[in-house]
Amino acid sequence: MLIGMDVHKHSVFVTEMEEEGNVKDQYEMSNDDESWESFLSRYSVYGNEIALEISTTGKFIARKLRNMGFSVHIADPVKLDLIFNTTKKNDREDSYKLAKLLRLGELPEVHLPSKESDDLRSITRYRKSIGEEITMLKNRIHALLSSYGISIEATDIFGKKGTAEIDKVSKILSESDRFILSSILDRIASLFHQERSVEDQISRMVLNNRNVARIMTIPGINVYSAAVLISEIDDISRFATKEKLASYAGLVPRQDQSGNRDIKGHITKHGPSMLRFILVNAAHIVIKYSKRLRSKYLSLVRRLGKNRSIVAIARILLEMIYTMLKNGEDFVDEIDSLTERKMISMQIRAKNPSPVRKLEELMKSIKKNKDTMKFINEKMIRGAPKELFS
């Protein structure tokens, strides 16, 4: 039996299709534990294949079905739209299309990562979002100071020189802008603390992960970067060659081939942007420590320029990681003392106490603050003249 599912937060529409292509049944069920128990009792696990679209809810349901023992296929919704270029779209039709493509062997499948990789992916992407927020706030500080004709020359405005400059020039700001500057600085300090806490948690999660330790033998890749790479790659065995991994990461050139013409352009940038982000950052550092990669970089610069050469090194680095994970090897130009320092740092950070508070406590704290503000506002309104609200 082939089954297509259109999954929503509260409901699921199911299409049953026989191997010959006949629709046996179509129905809607609730997305709750009781309904899934009935679903399991209705179908024998063996011989049934299920297709559904990837989404937040779809991913959860896919894992649930896989844990039940079903053969689950996850479809890429973007490619589905390209295949079925039609305005007719409803739950019944969508579930039918999934079952049909599954029967024809033309379902555009995507990989369903393991629960461990998915958890690691969530926290590393959250860590990146904190960094992006810090950058945004730093830019706001630069913009605020620029409105007074002030330019901070220090590379890091939170370094010793940078903070001294800000403290010196803040005296000429208006009272409101000093308040804004103080508020932004306070927010950034809080985000720095969160960033450290998240990295401590990442260290706890990957402390015994041999693949993370192996990738950390590369100069320029620390525990956070290694965790990103492992979570985004997931199971290395799903890539038949290093070229396929590079293609998944979007680090291969676009190709326009027709007849005798074969034009290669910029990289495709398909696949997870986090993977490219980490690899390009690592490439800038690894060329300073690895003689062979620095030599390769210098030979590329003469033909391609700096930016394109760094991207090329990022691809070479990813292909080296493929070989390392496939063969269980450490980085060929590993610096033992540097790797040892990184490993010790990870072990120390993993032992830091987790600052996680119970959700119940956090919700009470939020409610208390909201109730306090509500009380103050109501008291102010009661004591105010009626003319203000007329």
Question: pLDDT digit string (tens) for 61-71?
Answer: 999 998 888 99
- Range with the lowest mean pLDDT among 47-56, 136-145, 235-244, 376-385? 376-385
Phi, psi of 282 (to 5 degrees): -65, -35
Residue 363 tokens, joined? 């919700």
Q: Which two tokens stand for residue 35?
A: 């309904």
Give the residue-averaged pLDDT of 246-265.
Answer: 74
User: pLDDT tens digit string along 140-179?
Assistant: 998 999 999 888 877 777 777 888 888 888 889 999 999 9
For 202-229, write each residue's pLDDT tens digit: 999 999 999 999 999 999 999 999 999 9
Residue 122: what residue type?
Answer: S
Residue 52: per-residue pLDDT: 94
Amino acid present at 141: I
Q: How far is CA 313 from CA 31, 95, 250, 304, 385, in A?
A: 47, 43, 14, 12, 70
The separation between CA 186 and the C-alpha centre of its own chain, rounded to angstroms, equals: 27
CA distance linking residue 223 with residue 225, whole number of Å: 6
Averaged pLDDT of the chain: 88
The whole-model pTM stands at 0.82
pLDDT digits (tens, 9 = 90+) for 185-209: 999 999 999 999 999 999 999 999 9
> Does residue 355 surpass a pLDDT of 80?
no
- Provide CB contacts within 8 A for 35, sequence distance 6+: 12, 29
Given a cut of 70, is residue 263 above it in pLDDT? no
What does the alpha-carbon distance between residue 130 and residue 93 come to, in Å, rounded to a whole number? 41
The mean per-residue pLDDT over the stretch 352-356 comes to: 82
Spatial separation of the C-alpha atoms in residues 76 and 54, rounded to whole Å: 6
CB 286 within 8 A of CB 316: no
